[in-house]
Structure 1
C-alpha cells in the first residue's frame, strides 16, 4: 500500500510532509503539486498529519472522487525530481487551500 497526494495539494505545495518522510526521494516535486512515489513509499503514515491542506491519504482511504490521484502520483513520480527539503509553500497557498475542484490547475 502507498500514501497518495490528492487534489488539495494543487497550487499549495506545503512541504512539511517531505521533512518527516524516512525514505529519501519518496516525494517528487512538480511546478504546483507534490506526489508520492508508490515504489518507494513504506506506508508509515508520517506524512499524512503534516499536511495542512489535508491532501495526503492512504490509498485504501482515498476520498470519493480522488481515486484518479493514485495513478497520477505513480505517473508523475517517474518524471518529477525528488524533493528532500522543506521549501516555502506557493505564494497564494493560503488562498488556494480552501478551494475545491482544482484538478484543471495541475501543472506538469
Structure 2
C-alpha cells in the first residue's frame, strides 16, 4: 500500500508534503507531484500537510480519481527507483494522462 497524489495537486504543486516526507519519496514532475510506491513507508506525514487535500491512502482514493493510482505508479516506469527525490530534482515530465489534462486549479 502507498499514498497517492490526485487531481487537486495538478498545476498547484504546493510542496508542503515534500517538506514533511521523512523518506524523500515525493518526486516532482512538470505539473504534479508523485509518491514513489516502493519508497513510501506509509507514515502518513504528507497527507495532513497538503493544503489542497490531494493526498490519499491508496484504499481511500475517491472513485472519481481512481486512475491516479496508475498515474502515480506509471510516473516511475522509466524513472525506476532513484532513492530520493531531493537528489534527482524536478523531472520536467509527467505521465501522458497528466500532460494531456487542460489547465487545472486555476482560480
TM-score by structure 1 length?
0.72
* 2:6 is the counterpart of 1:6: yes
Q: Give, in angstroms, the shift of residue 104 of structure 1.
A: 1.3
Question: Root-mean-square deviation (CA), in Å?
Answer: 2.1
Q: Give, in angstroms, the shift of residue 79 of structure 1.
A: 4.4
Q: Give, in angstroms, the shift of residue 32 of structure 1.
A: 1.3
Does the CA-based 8 Å contact 1:19-1:84 persist in structure 2?
no
TM-score by structure 2 length?
0.73
Q: Which structure shows the bigger proportion of residues in helix conformation?
A: 2
Q: Give, in angstroms, the shift of residue 78 of structure 1.
A: 3.9
1:65 counterpart residue number = 64
2:28, 2:78 → 1: CA distance? Answer: 9
Does the CA-based 8 Å contact 1:5-1:57 persist in structure 2?
yes
Q: Give, in angstroms, the shift of residue 57 of structure 1.
A: 0.2
Unaligned runs of 5+ in 1: 86-102
Q: Give, in angstroms, the shift of residue 40 of structure 1.
A: 0.6
Unaligned runs of 5+ in 2: 88-99
2:43 counterpart residue number = 44
User: Which structure is richer in relative contact order (CA contacts within 8 A, separation 6 or more)?
Assistant: 1
Q: Give, in angstroms, the shift of residue 77 of structure 1.
A: 2.9
Q: Does the residue aligned with 2:73 lie in a helix, a strand or coil? A: helix
1:2, 1:58 → 2: CA distance? Answer: 6
Aligned residues: 88
Once the two structures are superposed, the pairs formed by residues 76-87 of structure 1 within 5 Å of their partners are: 76-79=75-78, 83-84=85-86
Alignment deviations for residues 20-67 of structure 1 (CA, whole Å, 9 cap, x no partner) = 11112x111111100101011111100000001100000000012111
- Structure 1 runs, 4 residues or longer, greater than 6 Å off: none
